[in-house]
A and B are shown apart, each in its own frame.
Chain A
């Protein structure tokens, strides 16, 4: 009885060790992340009353009722979606994410109002994107611990000038969720 109790105690201790090994202190669980790498830059310009400037996902600029100023830097926004599988798996996996842009707020700074619309990306199948619309991004054959994909975002800025000038900064909230992180069948 005493021996049996010793064995039982010994195995219970082993089970506890296994539990600790299954969730080590340095364990890193899978994580999806989206980072904003570059602002969507509409540059510097003048507007009398109202006008629009569109910066496409490829960086092309088109204006309506805008007076462009020389030396103005423009360009699309850039985001990177990355998936860190942690240290629990070394399999080849296929990844799918949904990226969603939230409706950006209309901003006003002194006598200038601005809002964004007509979002577009350089992702296949998502040239035109409405806020709230999910954009599916696939990363097949992910073989490294961290797999990522970058994409550009353009939009149209509508500006109304009541008086003066201003520097507008409009947030572009982005959310990403993992739809699929599936181990490939051999």
Chain B
């Protein structure tokens, strides 16, 4: 009896001695930070836009158009092809290698107003306008492209060289800025 009378208050004390703060285990979790770093898109020039050798009449204007997607140059007005057959005087579009993230779409940006080509000897200026582009290894006309499974493509750029009357013989050069961005 005496032993039991001692035991029961002992239990009561045990219950009262459990304070709220005594028994919590620490909590833990792992959050996460995420980021997708996209391989930058790069453009490498493989070939220049070349209008080739041209002959032009002294009285009339003319134009030479080199299409981006191939098909050969066309001559309008007083211009005629002037290449005797050498490979370095044949007209051809510019060609660029594009590299980036596989499967991503990209956009080709060209100068909207064209560029000016300056004569190395005379300093005369010719206008290169109506710039066009083609993606899909140069076969799909338009400003959009898609990188293949290796993250590669070829872009071609063409345009129209306007030749005013009285243009003196010269070699004309222009800087043609071409930009590609992920779409």
- A residues lining the B interface (CB < 8 Å): 4, 7-8, 11-12, 15, 18-19, 22, 29-36, 39-48, 53, 67, 69, 72, 77, 79, 81, 85, 89, 93, 104, 112, 114, 116, 153, 155, 157, 159, 161, 164-178, 180-183
Q: Besides the contacts A69-B38, A168-B34, what 9 more A-B pairs have beta carbons closer than 8 Å? A: A22-B11, A22-B15, A32-B26, A36-B32, A40-B34, A53-B35, A81-B27, A85-B20, A173-B30
Q: Are A77 and B33 in contact (CB under 8 A)?
A: yes
Residues of B within 8 A of A39 (CB): 31-34
Task: Report whether A114 and B40 are in contact in the complex, using a CB–CB cutoff of 8 Å.
Answer: no
- Asked if B4 and A43 make an inter-chain contact with CB atoms under 8 angstroms apart, the answer reads no
Q: 1/0 per residue B16-27: CB within 8 Å of A?
A: 000011011111
Docked-complex contact A181 and B24, CB < 8 angstroms: yes
Query: What is the interface of chain A mostly: helix, strand, loop, or mixed?
Result: strand
B8 touches A15 (CB 8 A): yes
Q: Are A18 and B31 in contact (CB under 8 A)?
A: no
- Whether A32 contacts B36 in the complex (CB less than 8 A), given A22-B15, A165-B101, A178-B21, comes out as no
C-alpha spacing A170/B30, complex, angstroms: 10
- Distance between B103 CB and nearest chain A CB, rounded to angstroms: 12
| A-B pairs, 4 with minimum CB distance | A42-B35, A165-B39, A172-B31, A36-B31
**For B7, what are the chain A residues with a Cβ–Cβ distance below 8 Å?**
15
CB-CB nearest in chain B for A179: B21
Please determine whether B29 and A35 come into contact, CB atoms closer than 8 angstroms: yes
Contact between B8 and A182, CB atoms less than 8 A apart: no
A29–B34 touching, CB < 8 Å: no
Do A12 and B4 form a contact, CB below 8 Å, given A161-B37, A182-B20? yes
- Residues of chain B in range 25-61 having any CB-CB distance to chain A below 8 Å: 25-41
Partner of A36, one of B21, B30, B37, B101: B30
Q: Are B37 and A166 in contact (CB-based, < 8 A)?
A: yes
User: Assuming the A-B contacts A22-B15, A30-B24, A34-B29, are A45 and B38 also in contact, with contact meaning beta carbons closer than 8 angstroms in the complex?
Assistant: yes
The one of A81, A114, A171 in contact with B30, judged by C-beta atoms closer than 8 angstroms, is A171
CB distance from B74 to the nearest CB of A (A): 38
Min CB gap A64→B, angstroms: 14
| Residues of chain A contacted by B30 (CB below 8 angstroms) | 36, 171-174
Q: Is B4 a contact partner of A112 (Cβ separation < 8 A)? A: no
A34–B27 touching, CB < 8 Å: yes
Query: Which residues from chain A contact B15 at a C-beta distance below 8 Å?
Result: 22
B11 to A171, Cβ gap below 8 A?
no
Please pick, from B1, B20, B25, B182, the residue contacting A69 in the complex, using a CB distance under 8 A.
B182
A residues less than 8 Å from B26 (CB atoms): 32, 175-178
